[in-house]
Amino acid sequence: MIDKKNFLSKSTLPFFDQWLENAGRDGAYALIDKDKDWTSFDVVAKMRGISKIKKIGHCGTLDPLATGLLILAFGKATKSINSLQALDKRYSALLKLGATTKSFDSEFPEENIKDYSQITIDDIINASLEFIGEISQKAPIFSAKKIKGKRLYRYAREEKEIEIAPNIVNVKSIKIEKIDMPFLQITIDCSKGTYIRSLANDIGEKLGCGAYLFDLRRTKIGKYSVDDALKISDIP
């Protein structure tokens, strides 16, 4: 069992020196609120510089355009990364209807522009319901998933075709928070390995007008919340 006192967070930041000593000796964790345009590796590299601890891992990659909760493990605590990665996740996602992009998010320009004016609230509710439960999902071609030892985004940037086998993931719930066409704000609870970009694209296909992930924030990993997470700039 992981002791919450071993986590660097807003509530434990006043005890940073003690946390750092524990992290170097026995291993520890940190809750980080990742900024937009940072990669997960950027966060690890920055914390390596702050802590002077070489062995650091993160528990679940966030795309550069996404913000929110990353759990970092330091030193001996990296042995427990797999158990933390296996925890369910919660995301706040903003979808834009009426277009798609190559990356399924806002990294690339919109294409396949379609009229969305005929889409109703009932259409959105019914489409979302079809993606609750165990679903088959493919990773986006612009993602860090490895196939044949190479990350998918590298195949994409080289314009090489690659077969992407689907995975079974579990979407526990999709809650519609706000509809302000063409934008759809939803909260998603899901298992590890769920690609919210793929979910956005699939919902768009189901609606017949296309959609892509305009903005994404991870708010929870298991019982750990971004509300208690630190920005890198908060850390001494």
Give per-residue pLDDT as tens, 173-187.
999 999 999 999 999
The verdict on 75 and 93 lying in the same domain is: no
> pTM of the entire structure?
0.92
The verdict on 93 and 10 lying in the same domain is: no
For residue 71, list its beta bridge partners: 31
The verdict on 196 and 116 lying in the same domain is: yes
Which amino acids are annotated catalytic?
Answer: 63
**pLDDT tens for each residue of 186-214:** 999 999 999 999 999 999 999 999 999 99
Asked if pLDDT for residue 154 goes beyond 70, the answer is yes
Mean pLDDT of the chain: 92
**pLDDT tens for each residue of 159-172:** 777 777 789 999 99
Position with higher pLDDT, 74 vs 4: 74
The verdict on 44 and 102 lying in the same domain is: no
What is the structure's pLDDT at 1?
40
The verdict on 76 and 169 lying in the same domain is: no
The mean pLDDT value for 26-33 works out to: 96
Domain harbouring 67, CATH code: 3.30.2350.10
The verdict on 75 and 184 lying in the same domain is: no
Count the domains in the chain: 2
- Long-range contacts from 144-153, C-beta under 8 angstroms, 24+ separation: 144/61
145 lies in which domain range? 89-221
The verdict on 214 and 230 lying in the same domain is: no
The verdict on 202 and 103 lying in the same domain is: yes
Instruction: Let me know: does 158 contact 216? Beta carbons within 8 Å.
Output: no
- Give residue 48's Cα distance to chain centre: 22
Share of the chain above pLDDT 70, in %: 97
